[in-house]
Amino acid sequence: AQYGPCSQRRMGAMAALELLDQLVDESDPDVDFPNSYHAYQTAEGIRRAHPDKDWFHLVGLLHDLGKVLALFGEPQ
């Protein structure tokens, strides 16, 4: 009920990817590259392994976007 209506904030996927770069991921705090880079790495790895599954490439790109909620007071 809290998140279903998307009343917290609305933004496009690219804006959310950019916001990921402001986040220090608790699961990987020592990484020296932006979090969005991980999303692109994941999508590219999936593309190489499964070139015929474009939906899977997209899932790889978007898989961590929910982490931006931590920037708005939600736990990671």
* Residues in binding site: 38, 63-64
> Phi-psi region for residue 6, left (φ > 0), alpha (ψ -120 to 50) or beta?
left
- Supply the DSSP string of 33-71, one letter for each residue: S-HHHHHHHHHHHHHHH-TT-HHHHHHHHHTTGGGGGGG
Annotated binding site for Fe cation: 38, 63-64
